[in-house]
Every structure is written in structure tokens, then in C-alpha cells.
């Protein structure tokens, strides 16, 4: 069921147009500044504003030339017109074959050239149709249904407000052509959130938009087109009279007339905002100095059980998902605590079963520490370099409790025997570097520490 606000005229009858010339509309400042909160319906999709620039995405009214004529082409057509009728007159008077042939050739060339100044085929709807269709277009209501590609689910969206955000447009008296294009449709955050919920449950989807006027289904495409505001009947640019004129090569007369009269056309696209709140519409449309009156904010009370079910099912799914995530997080927390406890216990046991057996060092270049870890012996070498410290770790094998610590000096070499392992650690000094040799399992040379 749809409930609409009582229709109120937004413009008093005595209101006068405050503008003289053409005025183009712009996107409302509230939407332009807060574009991240609004979404655009484009190419059957709900999407964010392109390039994050709502001012560029909004289609403002434009003033265009409905038909343009080249002065050069008009002059050329006049020239061929004169040549043809001079030759035709000569042929009639002299009854000579040559002027007749020339007249035929000139007529063919003139007809081809004349096509360049024949107006493009256009169908113009009347002012009566314009007034009626504008009333329908600006006061229509909508039904929005989400439809899934993966199944036959169709869910109607519970529209609350249809707000007009077209903005201010003035169509002055000297403009008689108006072209109405498909209206622009915008949505607020609540619509986008519902779209996400529907897509999460039913996959990719598309939107079915149905238009109504006074609760009667209408085809909004029939409302679009080009209108002649100065005519109470529909007209074509190409008609029987214009065809006869072209046969006599007189189209240049109409081209001169059209070139010197107003052939400007205003093109605009009405804009609607679907939202859960009433939007402060600033739309004002003036047509030949008269205000166009319509309902700027249509309140709708569409009840949709399917939409309520979508929200309920989605919220329940999210609740279960959050609960599952919390359970997983709690399990990870317990595993982390268990791991930290086990690691701390292993560290404690390691410290209890670790004993420093011997330490040999050269305070400027190295420090060699021999440790017993459980029943194994590990040699840790801390090498001092100009760039900092460097570590070497050597597994020396099984612990030998009977081995005693002592040192030997052999000229340019120092020999160390650690406690707890019968292994020789020899440091040999050279001019620029020194070499450390640990039994037969490790040998390496290092530069002296300059620091």
C-alpha cells in the first residue's frame, strides 16, 4: 500500500519568475559535499559516484542548437537555384537541347547539395503533451524490486521518501524546444546497506523499476522526447509542404528563416532521491516565466514482508557469524596462552639445564662462550666488527665432564681448551686479520675491529 502526502502547491499562484535567461540546475550542495553517503543508479547498477566527484556525475541542463545551418552552404544553394532556373528559362525560350541538359545536371547537383541544409528528421511533441507529461514525470511514484540472477527471488524495497533533487531550471520565452531525458535516480546509505544484505543472501542481482502515476502503471519512456512549447500539436521537421519546397530547390529560404530564429533547445534530466528521510528540496522550474508546480517530497509507506525477512535473516546470519568468529578468536586466545605457557616452561627448563663451562675473549675482537645444554655442548662466538656484532653457533657434541680448562700460547696463536669438552679452540693472529679454528668442525677468519 502506498500513502502519499496531501498534494500541496510548492509555488504560490502569484509567484513570478526571478530569472531572465536560461538557468541550469546543479546537484544539491548537501549531496555534493556528502557524496560518500549517496549512490547513483547507472547502467542497471547501484554504484558510487564516478571519480568520487558527484558534481561531474550529475547531469545538469544544457542549452544546445537543435539545428545548425552553414552560411556557405546556403549561398551555394542560392547559386545553384539561380543557375537552374536561368538555364530552365533559357531552355523554354530557345527550345534548345543544350540548356535542357545543363538544367538536368544542375538540378541533380543542387538536390544533392540541398540535402546538407534539410533539417534532420525530428518528431516534436506538443505543448499540451509537455504539460501533461511533466506533471506525470515529476509526480510519479516508484516500485523498486530486487531480483536475483541465481534464483527467482524478488523482493520489494520499502520506499519511504521520493525527493525531487532536480534543482532550479529556467526556460525563457525565447526557447521553444525542450528535450526531456531519462530521470536520474539516487539513493541514500540505507538503500545501499539493504542492497548489500540482499546480495549477501542471494548473490548478484538487478533492480526492477516500475513507475506509477495516481497508482496507475505508466511507461516512463513515453514521457521522454523533444517538445515544441509553441505548438499545440505534434509536428515533424520533414512534412509534405517541406518536401514540395525541396522539389523546387527552395529549402534555402527555410534555412535562412531557421538560421535567424531561435533553434536553441534545453536538454535536462529530472533527478529523484530515494531516502528514508525527507530531503530539503530546492527544485524550482520556470517555463516561459510561469512556475511549474508539483510535489517535491512524496512520502510512501510501502510495507514489504520480504524485505523485513531479508533484514532478519541477514542479521541472524551476521549474529551467528560474529558468534562463530568470537568462538574462533577465543580458541586462538586459549591456544596462544597455552603456547606461551609451554614456551615459558621450556625456557625455564632450558635455563635450569644450561651451564656456562668456559669463556675466552679478546675484549676488542671476540668473546667465545662454551655452554652445556642438557648433555650437549654448544660454542657461541660473539665477533666484534666495525659494523657491529656478529654471532656464530657451533654444536660441539656430547658433554665430557672429565675435561678441564686450560690455555696455551704458541707465538702468534692462542690455544684454549674449555671445561666439559675435549676440543681445541685456536686463535691465530695475522697482520690484518685473525683466524678462529674449533677442532676440525669450524674455521673462519675475521678482520680486526677498528673501533
Mean of per-residue pLDDT scores for the chain = 87
CB 140 within 8 A of CB 209: no
Helix (H) or strand (E) holding 195: helix 189-202
Which region among 12-16, 147-151, 405-409 has the lowest average model confidence (pLDDT)? 12-16
Helix (H) or strand (E) holding 242: helix 240-247
Between residues 14 and 190, the one the model is more confident about? 190
Question: d(Cα 54, Cα 50) in Å, to the nearest integer?
Answer: 7
pLDDT at 51 over 70: no
CB 270 within 8 A of CB 180: yes
Residue 50: pLDDT band with limits 50, 70, 90? very low
Tens of pLDDT, residue by residue over 374-391, are 999 999 999 999 888 999
Residue 286: pLDDT band with limits 50, 70, 90? very high
Q: What pLDDT score does 399 carry?
A: 93
Q: Is the CA virtual torsion 140, 145, 146, 151 positive or negative?
A: negative
Residue 260: pLDDT band with limits 50, 70, 90? low
Show Cβ contacts of residue 89 under 8 Å, excluding neighbours closer than 6 positions: none
Question: d(Cα 132, Cα 136) in Å, to the nearest integer?
Answer: 6
Question: d(Cα 427, Cα 22) in Å, to the nearest integer?
Answer: 96
User: Where exactly are the structural domains of the chain?
Assistant: 29-69+117-310, 71-106, 354-447
pTM of the model: 0.65
Helix (H) or strand (E) holding 101: helix 97-114
Q: What pLDDT score does 387 carry?
A: 85
Q: What pLDDT score does 126 carry?
A: 94
How much is the average pLDDT of 392-406?
93
pLDDT at 10 over 50: no
How much is the average pLDDT of 169-173?
94
Helix (H) or strand (E) holding 443: strand 442-447
Q: Which residues pair with 265 in a beta bridge?
A: 64, 177
How much is the average pLDDT of 257-279?
86
Tens of pLDDT, residue by residue over 216-235, are 999 888 899 999 999 898 87
Q: What pLDDT score does 54 carry?
A: 52
Q: What pLDDT score does 262 carry?
A: 62
Phi and psi at residue 114, to the nearest 5°: -65, -25
How much is the average pLDDT of 274-294?
92
pLDDT at 351 over 60: yes
Q: What pLDDT score does 165 carry?
A: 93
Amino acid at each position: 500500500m502506498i500513502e502519499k502526502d496531501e498534494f500541496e502547491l510548492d509555488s504560490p499562484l502569484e509567484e513570478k519568475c526571478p530569472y531572465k535567461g536560461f538557468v541550469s540546475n546543479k546537484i544539491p550542495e548537501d549531496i555534493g559535499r556528502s557524496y560518500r553517503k549517496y549512490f547513483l543508479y547507472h547502467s542497471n547498477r547501484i554504484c558510487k559516484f564516478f571519480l568520487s566527484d558527484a558534481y561531474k556525475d550529475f547531469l545538469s541542463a544544457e542549452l544546445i542548437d537543435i539545428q545548425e545551418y552553414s552560411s556557405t552552404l546556403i549561398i551555394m544553394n542560392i547559386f545553384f537555384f539561380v543557375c537552374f532556373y536561368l538555364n530552365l528559362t533559357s531552355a523554354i525560350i530557345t527550345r534548345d537541347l543544350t540548356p535542357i541538359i545543363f538544367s538536368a545536371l544542375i538540378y541533380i547537383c543542387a538536390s544533392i547539395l540541398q540535402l546538407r541544409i534539410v533539417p534532420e528528421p525530428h518528431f516534436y511533441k506538443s505543448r499540451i503533451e509537455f504539460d501533461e507529461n511533466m506533471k506525470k514525470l515529476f509526480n510519479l511514484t516508484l516500485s523498486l524490486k530486487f531480483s536475483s540472477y541465481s534464483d527467482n527471488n524478488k523482493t520489494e524495497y520499502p520506499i519511504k521518501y521520493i525527493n525531487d533533487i532536480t534543482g532550479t531550471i529556467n526556460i525563457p520565452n525565447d526557447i521553444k524546444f525542450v528535450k526531456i531525458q531519462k530521470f536520474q535516480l539516487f539513493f541514500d546509505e540505507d538503500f545501499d546497506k539493504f542492497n548489500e544484505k540482499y546480495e549477501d543472501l542471494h548473490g548478484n542481482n538487478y533492480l526492477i523499476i516500475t513507475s506509477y502515476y495516481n497508482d496507475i502503471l505508466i511507461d516512463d519512456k513515453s514521457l521522454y522526447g523533444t517538445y515544441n512549447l509553441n505548438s499545440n500539436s505534434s509536428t515533424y521537421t520533414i512534412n509534405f509542404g517541406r518536401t514540395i519546397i525541396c522539389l523546387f530547390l527552395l529549402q534555402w529560404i527555410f534555412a535562412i528563416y531557421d538560421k535567424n530564429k531561435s533553434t536553441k533547445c534545453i536538454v535536462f534530466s529530472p533527478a529523484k532521491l530515494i531516502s528514508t528521510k525527507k530531503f530539503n528540496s530546492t527544485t524550482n522550474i520556470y517555463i516561459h516565466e510561469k512556475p511549474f508546480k508539483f510535489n517535491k517530497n512524496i512520502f510512501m509507506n510501502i510495507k514489504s514482508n520480504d524485505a523485513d525477512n531479508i533484514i532478519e535473516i541477514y542479521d541472524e546470519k551476521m549474529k551467528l557469524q560474529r558468534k562463530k568468529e568470537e568462538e574462533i578468536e577465543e580458541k586462538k586466545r586459549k591456544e596462544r596462552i597455552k603456547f606461551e605457557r609451554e614456551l615459558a616452561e621450556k625456557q625455564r627448563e632450558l635455563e635450569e639445564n644450561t651451564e656456562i663451562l668456559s669463556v675466552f675473549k679478546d675484549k676488542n675482537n671476540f668473546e667465545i662462550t662454551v655452554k652445556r645444554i642438557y648433555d650437549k655442548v654448544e660454542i657461541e662466538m660473539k665477533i666484534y666488527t666495525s659494523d657491529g656484532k656478529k654471532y656464530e653457533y657451533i654444536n660441539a657434541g656430547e658433554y665430557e665432564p672429565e675435561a678441564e680448562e686450560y690455555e696455551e700460547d704458541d707465538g702468534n696463536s692462542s690455544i684454549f681448551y674449555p671445561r666439559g669438552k675435549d676440543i681445541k679452540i685456536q686463535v691465530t693472529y695475522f697482520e690484518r686479520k685473525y683466524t678462529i679454528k674449533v677442532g676440525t668442525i669450524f674455521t673462519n677468519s675475521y678482520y680486526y675491529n677498528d673501533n
